[in-house]
């Protein structure tokens, strides 16, 4: 029997810098992903906000694997990684990131992760 999970690697480009520096906006992104994909955090997400024009790095350890994001306001970009050890329903990353972060372009790569033969 082959079991597989799914990993999404997402880049949002042309985002509004202020939104990429807003911790509440990023915490809402994680909360929405957790709720809508039925994920199970094993601890609270950890966040690091860089000084000055820097962005934010966030990590949430999940029973299913992890969520991670890195923002770069100086470049208008957000990098997001969602790794689930079991298949999950599709999620509209493009619409969400365009609406919430005003991204001009969103690139989504979906990788199947196989654990058996």
Cα–Cα distance for residue pair 83/113, rounded to 1 Å: 9
**Alpha helices for 9-74 (secondary structure H):** 17-20, 23-36
Residue 90 CB-density burial (10 A; 0-12 exposed, 13-18 middle, 19+ buried): exposed
Let me know if 84 is a catalytic residue: no
* Residue 95 among the catalytic residues: no
- Among candidate residues 60, 65, 77, 84, the one labeled active-site is 65
Mark whether 85 is an active-site residue: yes
Rounded Cα distance between 53 and 32, Å, is 26
As annotated, the active-site residues are 65, 70, 85
């Amino acid at each position: 029997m082959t079991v597989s999970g799914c990993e999404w690697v997402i880049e949002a480009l042309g985002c509004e810098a202020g939104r990429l520096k807003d911790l509440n906006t990023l915490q809402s992104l994680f909360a929405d992903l957790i709720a809508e994909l039925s994920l199970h955090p094993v601890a609270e997400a950890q966040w690091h906000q860089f000084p000055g024009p820097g962005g934010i790095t966030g990590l949430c350890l999940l029973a299913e694997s992890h969520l991670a994001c890195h923002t770069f306001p100086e470049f208008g970009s957000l990098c997001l990684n969602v790794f689930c050890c079991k298949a999950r329903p599709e999620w509209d990353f493009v619409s969400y990131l365009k609406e919430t972060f005003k991204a001009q372009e969103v690139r989504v790569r979906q990788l199947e992760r196989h654990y058996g033969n």
